[in-house]
Structure 1
Amino acid sequence: MAPRMPEQPTWALDVLGALDAGILLLDRHCRVLYWNNWMEQASTLTVREMLGHDLFDALPNLRESRLHIAVRDTLATGAPGVLSHTLNPMLFPLRLPDGRRMVHNVVIRPLPSHAQPAFSQSAHAQQAGSEARCLIQVTDVTASVNRERVLREQRDARYRAIVDTAPDAIVTTDTRGMVQWMNGTATRQFDYHPNELIGQNVAVLLGDDAPDWVAMAEHSGPAESGGPEAATQPVELSGRRRDGSHIDLELSMARWESEGRSFITGILRDITERRRTREELRTSALAMRQLAEQTKATLDALPAFIAVLDRSGRIVSVNRAWAEAGPETTFLGQGCIVGDDYLDHCGRGETADPRADSVMEGLRTLLSEGGPPVSAEYVTNNQHWYRCLAAPMPAGPFGGTVLMHIDVTEIKSMEAALRKLVGQKSTLLREVNHRVKNSLQLVSSLLTLQTLSLPDEGMRVHFQDARSRIEAIARVHNRLYQADQFQTIEFGTYLNELCEDLARASGGDSMCDIVVRSDVIDLPIDHAAPLGLIANELITNAVKHRGNGPARVTVTFRRAADQLALTVSDRGPGLPSNFDIRKSRSLGMRLISSLAGQIRASVDIDTTPQGTTFRIELPVPDAVPLLETSSTEEIEG
């Protein structure tokens, strides 16, 4: 007689009712077993209206919603579910005390099927004590969502203040090129009054030879992140002030959307002084560039970011990848170009990896004192990995160093993803084999219990045979669970364990003597399981039909060239001389024939009055693909 469960505490319902969260319990038919006070107040649906009724009949708008699907999944698989208000707009129809819609999250947890309900409001809960159930918890997040909205609005206000005081002119237009907004710097740079250009075409600010504003924005493809579209590469052009004078500009553009409308924002930087300085540098460095032209063509073809520094650390030349690098490549020194002091620019930047500082220190030492090349990897604040290489150039016309930054982020990500994937796959395979082994052992235990209750000796023998076959398969999955790799098992060790278990189950040394001789051979599970079942059948038959004395069984498993051979020999009374395994009515012999067909194995039988030898030969698994598994009808004849 099963022991009685202790009485549940009388304050359980009071605790659940006092929780500042919705709690409801469903049985496997989605009928409501519990509906606490919080849910009653938030939904205006009383306990009397909900108890014993299908939740999704009471709330028909939720039927076949994501919530309904998640509840069914939890009841069917036992896996918990979490539904967020941001991704699941169709949740419970709940209201705050002031009538506003309640923003809430839902957590669905399974309850163990063997436990009695810790609380009940009706007889339905008592009847569902042994069935699958799930507990649903509803949490009010309205306050936190409103708080986040306020913070976001404050942050947007700060951003607007920063943009309005930026040192570069910023102009926003619609997709027709009509000015919608411009910051204070733009009004000062082009000498217009605030809001004077609102509604006019942006071409008023550009020179006659400037490219079309809208066409340049269309040239930038959509961003992968789904936010603002990718900014174009900076373009230098001429602008026009109110008085008609020209100004040299560098234009960077980006498209973005808000409330279903598209906009174009351009940053117009005054580069008049920078262009003059750059022209002077180009003139003075003409001879140097001619000398390096052939080398630069080669460097431009490389995906690495390469620069040549003189002895003082000033950039003399860069390759194409460096020149076209975007703002995310912070190691470039915040946009430094030819003629800039690289060490000075990089000294202002920040990286997430202290190793970047050691790279810069090594580069300074290399420039000032010489020495061996510098090589190191580091990661930046935007989680980009780089490998830095710096080598001295003492024989060059200006000395200095060749500096190379190689973006290895993708390689690092792939390595991390592969390591994670391998770990997850190994864990999953180990767990699958463990669960299959446990399930098969449970079936074996059930058969053992059933065998003990059978009065007929003949029926018990059939149940014992079935249990032996199940344990042979479970032993394969046990080996896979214990191994470091899950695609193959070492079949010789498996045979030894199988024979030891069969000898023990048959009465020990007094009833049988099983000798195993095997090479070390790894077999995939699709071959190991059928071959293990064949060995189990042959050894069991040899012990069962041993005659008067103890069984003497020899099991060998060998590899010769591209063939594998499993041999089981006994000294029993033998088989009839006209025995044909394909015509045998024995289930064991039909199993052997069918399983051998699965792995393309041949079965040879040598029988004498002093014993029988079964020889199973099959190709090495890597050389021959497996056939499809035989059906149940084929085994049963």
Structure 2
Amino acid sequence: MAPTLPDQPTWALDVLGALDAGILLLDRHCRVLYWNGWMEQASTLPARELLGHDLFDALPNLRESRLHSAVRDTLATGAPGVLSHTLNPMLFPLRLPDGRRMVHNVLIRPLPSQPHSHGGDARCLIQVTDVTASVNRERVLREQRDARYRAIVDTAPDAIVTTDTRGMVQWMNGTATRQFDYRPDELIGHSVRVLLGDDAPDWIAMAEGSGPGSPCGLDIAARPVELSGRRRDGSAIDLELSMARWESEGRSFITGILRDITERRRAREELRASALAMRQLAEQTKATLDALPAFIAVLDRSGHIVSVNRAWAEAGPEPSFLGQGCIVGDDYLRHCGRGETVDPRADTVMDGLRTLLRDGGPPVSAEYVTNSQRWFRCLAAPMPAGPFGGTVLMHIDVTEIKSMEAALRKLVGQKSTLLREVNHRVKNSLQLVSSLLTLQTLSLPDERVRVHFQDARSRIEAIARVHNRLYQADQFQTIEFGTYLNELCEDLARASGGGDMCDIAVRSEVVDLPIDHAAPLGLIANELITNAVKHRGDAPAKVTVTFRRERDRLALTVADRGPGLPSNFDIRKSRSLGMRLISSLAGQIRASVDIDTTPKGTVFRIELPVPDAVPLLESSAAEEFGG
């Protein structure tokens, strides 16, 4: 006979049927006493087919399941039971209205026995709760949270690789796939050794020092390790590895952060090489300073010595140059204030050095002589960028140089005297030749022949006048051509009969010309003025001579008011000795000759480039240095 549900108010059954949960009642034999409408809908099993029947006969898949055991325990002991979907995947076969599997929890409660029973009428109430919506909501939230975490990790600038405790890759972020040139899932299940170089430490051994125990279940390796990695194409990559071990759902994992330090290592190597080069440069500079014969010291801003070269250190305590005997740490200015020199210029050196240390400024250079008659040149230059600031100081023994300079001045003086004597004798010899030509001219009866002799004498005197200027000047390589031109015109005017025969006006700038330009240009001026006077006609000759500098050119102009030249006159085809001489001399000094012929006279314009500057010899011997 099937068990029956005790008489209950009708409203009680209506309440159980209206609940948004499954309610079923089992007797001590697991027979169904009540199966509400919610259970009918979720299981598609009508109550009439289940009432009075063993639940686990109607649902044979649940026999010997965790649900079956929990029901037996509750009926036997009276202890309630709770079965959650997370730990018990095999519960009731329930479906949602849309056909999806229902995720549910089961609560089993014992019911008290009826008053008339003798303890053999044990029953239990089973409540089934639909948690599908909450589970889905949690899953969505978890997936969103995980997606945020994955996005953060996946976009991290460093490669992140997770392996199991065997070193098999379980996951790697996007940076790792780009850094090692693998597809996202290509290395899943492969050994992490694929990403490490042959000389890299063992992944598992490095992870042995880390494990669970720190907050969040992570224990970060205390110190990153530098190692080499390997890209897909086999090329090497420098890495810095930080590791952490963690656990999830009873499993252990290892996560490694692999930072690309190729640029950092390259910069570090360059810095190390630069430091080595700087150290070598410093050593080379010190060796160079030690090899110099000069006495060199570095002073800080207060004037104390911070460094000296070998020559200074080995100079000994006896005073010679300013500051000899000072050592590192001494106050150089105080030491040199003891009056160790006899030359007042030493005070100027110290004043300049004090100003340089106090205010900065240009380098100081001065010479002084010591009691032992040794000459020194002192050079002091500021060092604003040095570690101590201050000044580098150098004393150079120039005694031998002074002796050589005195000897050279003496030699130059002797050569100056010799050159002056040579020019004087050349001038006298040319004057003698000119006098002989004059005597010879007086003995010639033919007037035309005498004219040729006078022309030759004029040319010789023009050259003699150049040597006369050199003899009178303090320098022997150039002459001031303006003064020379004035003297030449005065002599030619006197030789031509003075103001009654000719009027020569000279306008000249002060221009120094080398002797190899002055002599040809003087001869050209002599020829042009002589021709102007000679071909003056019946009236007195009026000649205007100008000489000026026009930028990078020199211009000599000789203009007269004579009868002029033919319109088709060509100096290069002229048979006149004077014109041929002018053309030849102009070619020697790279000058051009322009002729402007008018009915009232002729203008000759000689243009030539400004000659290069000529280094001058010392004009006079200085006082000989005795020492």
TM-score by length of structure 2 reads: 0.40
| Larger RCO (alpha carbons 8 Å, 6+ apart) | 2
Larger radius of gyration: 2
TM-score by length of structure 1 reads: 0.40
